[in-house]
Chains A and B, each alone.
Chain A
Amino acid sequence: MKKGFALVLICLLLLTACSSNSGSKNSGNTAADTGKTENTAATEPAQAKEITIWAWDPAFNIAALEVAKAEYAKTNPDVKINIVEYAQADIIQKLNTGLNSGTTKGLPNIVLIEDYRSQSFLQSYKDSFYDLSSSIKGTDFADYKSGPTSLDGKQYGIPFDSGVTGLYLRTDYLEQAGYKLADLQDIDWKKYIEIGKAVKDKTGKALITLDPNDLGLIRVMIQSAGEWYLKEDGKTPNIAGNAPLKEAFETYKELTESNVAKVHADWSQFVAALNSGDVASVPTGNWITPSITAEASQSGKWGIAPLPKLTVNKSVHASNLGGSSWYVMNVDGKETAADFMAKTFGSNVEMYQKLLTDIGVIGTFKAAAGGEAYSQANEFFSGQKIVSDFAAWTEQIPSVNYGINTYAIEDILIVEMQNYLNGKDIDSVLSDAQAQAESQIK
């Protein structure tokens, strides 16, 4: 009996040992993941002197963080900053599971969230993000950024990259088809397709590459007209009777039917299509610049023009695609994290110049746009001052409320888009999508 009891005790002891072990591992795993930090948790007991940041894209966001880290170290050398790189999908998963489990262990101090998704996090986990209203001013940043980064009048996010769109063009193909870059200033999508047909005839090259699973182009088009999948309240589906959305769908169909579009299935195929010279243009966010300039042999062959516009609803030649912003989590070390953000991305004009020249990041901090780096000519784009163009367009981007259901609605629309391309009538396409969105979004 005694032996049996002892065994039970040993088992229980083992169990608790296991669980406490996994707990401590969890809190330290972010440091282990970076591979850069040693065991420093014990060195500074009182004030949080160590913060952890999660972000994706080493060439863009992580590189920007490294610049900010170096900048902050000048005034706060005793704060240790761990930068951890995860894929965006992994960050979303980790955040959701972490926040939902109710334990803040293992969460970072600062996290990068895509603008389309930010409201779903802010609204779903209300007290998990730190109010930055006293650290930064939302009005210091591009206006269209305030929707995604604030909630109930409080500023939660530090607006970061702009996602401002432009029309990247192969000027050499255009010339063969008899067009100059100047011919593509202030055009609408109809004219764009017309030019595309000429390019296809003369060069055999596709005008654009499209992913049937990604309606980014539709998002770009409707935002340029100040509309979204949802109404202003961010809740009511706005699909049936949405004139810009209807025109966007029609334009998309025309693109596929006039034989000027090439199809790709993922990011690497997308970039391959640009770099191999298979397509003559890319209407997308400015974050594509590093991928285009990566193909050095095409230097001098690219130019940028303003985004074509829709014909309805005062559509403008500026839109946004996939920008993101920084968020401070409401966990230990939030003050330090907020201070770091306020002193770097929240105010440092100098740093933004460095971000631009070194990495190509176009921020949304208004004061930075006056800096010298913003008006520099870009050799790859035949000396075009692309950044000052982008910065100017950033100011024109219509502000819309993304709400929390962008991707849920988009998945409905992707299916309806296939139906539309297969011949279903546009009005029933949109009204069916509306009905489905209404039943799914609650």
Chain B
Amino acid sequence: MHQTNSKLRFRTKSVLTGWSFVLLAVILIFVFYFYPMLQALILSFQTGTGSNLTFTGFDNYSRLLSDKTFIVSVKNTFIYLLVQVPLMIILALFISVLLNDSKLRFKGFFRTAIFLPCVTSLVAYSVVFKYLFSGNGLVNTMLLKLHLVSAPIEWITDPFWAKITIIIAITWRWTGYNMIFYLSALQNIDHSIYEAARIDGASASRQFFGITVPLLKPIILFTSITSTIGTLQLFDEVMNITKGGPGNATQTISQYIYNLSFKYAADFGYAATVSYSIVIMIALLSFIQFKVAGDKNG
């Protein structure tokens, strides 16, 4: 009896000790993650400017569906998503395979050079891009000098080219980030697999599609989900390069949330509703990606 009692006391003690270790983190997560999320959800059922908020039920959610600006923002965001994410993933994969070649010299230099963009400040690089792509910026000057165009391209003030500029900017910044994941995954693939394939007479492209891509599948899934989430939350580049313009040709959902909160008459209730729409979209897309690309136990 005495024995079991002390055993029990020991168990309780160790459980409590364990909890006390994680308690701080748990409290912080509750205070800084779950509480704000809950508050935002409550806020999304309220309308009014500033602090004059009243509960209006699902008004904000029905407004969402008839809000042209919101719909355009969603459309823009999905254009970035559909064009930029695949482009970046393929590019990152391609570069990482090149850089993984054992015969390549100055590997460290190339890896650093390609990874470097994603340690730069978001705002700083956006501002630099804005100037590079401005009417008389470096890009236009070069294109003109090389006689590739006859008149400067309106990179920032034309609706089509402004989107392209944003896509170029985010591709520049995030390709290196994804490349690092692929590189580390590639180094875990056993060389003997490739050797066996070569002996069997498989071409380089066959090796790439038959060995590299399937073995990198979990990483590709991971990068495409994080990139999807990142793109759905895209804000800094658009805010700093085009401010969402011209018109709202480059406006993203996140920027619309900013505008609703701070540019217009502070409508925090509706802004919270729009934020929740992003949550729902991310959840849905991640679910689909897991279903399509993930393993059964993934």
Contact = CB atoms under 8 A, between A and B. Distances in A.
Interface of A: 1, 3-5, 7-8, 11, 14-15, 89, 92-93, 96, 99-100, 102, 120-121, 123-126, 212-213, 263-266, 269, 404-405, 407-408, 411-412, 414-415, 417-418, 436, 439-440, 442
Nearest to B9: A1
Interface residues of B, number: 45
Contacts of B13: 1, 3-4
B254 interface: no
Contact of A415 (B17, B156, B247, B268): B247
14 contacts: A1-B12, A1-B16, A5-B16, A92-B263, A123-B265, A124-B50, A124-B51, A125-B50, A126-B52, A407-B263, A408-B263, A411-B263, A415-B247, A418-B159
Given A1-B9, A439-B66, A99 B156 contact: no
A418 B266 contact: no
A123 B50 CA distance: 8
A213 B17 contact: no
A213 B245 contact: yes
A125 B265 CA distance: 11
Taking chain A's interface residues, is the majority helix, strand, or loop, or is none over half, making it mixed?
helix
B141 interface: no
Given A1-B13, A265-B130, A411 B248 contact: yes
Given A7-B20, A15-B27, A408 B265 contact: yes
A269 B242 CA distance: 13
B245 A212 contact: yes
B264 interface: yes
B94 interface: no
Closest 4 CB pairs between A and B?
Answer: A124-B50, A213-B245, A4-B16, A120-B265
B68 A436 contact: yes
Contacts of B246: 212-213, 414, 418
Contact of B134 (A1, A120, A269, A414): A269
Contact of B135 (A14, A99, A213, A269): A269
Given A96-B50, A408-B265, A414 B245 contact: yes
B266 A124 contact: yes
Contacts of B134: 265, 269
Interface of B: 9, 12-13, 16-17, 19-21, 23-24, 27, 47, 49-52, 63, 66-69, 72, 130, 134-135, 154, 156-157, 159, 242-249, 259, 261-266, 268
A418 B20 contact: no
B47 A3 contact: no
Contacts of B72: 415
Given A8-B23, A418-B159, A405 B264 contact: yes
A408 B94 CA distance: 44
A4 B17 contact: yes
Contact of A263 (B135, B264, B268): B135
Q: Which of B19, B24, B27 has the most CB of A within 10 A?
A: B24
Contacts of B135: 263-265, 269
Contacts of B156: 265
A150 B249 CA distance: 37
B239 to A, nearest CB: 10
A212 B12 CA distance: 68
Contact of B20 (A11, A92, A99, A126): A11
Contacts of A412: 69
Contact of B259 (A8, A120, A126, A411): A411
Given A263-B135, A440-B67, 5 more contacts: A265-B242, A408-B264, A414-B248, A415-B69, A439-B63
A442 B47 contact: yes
Contacts of A8: 20, 23
A326 B285 CA distance: 48
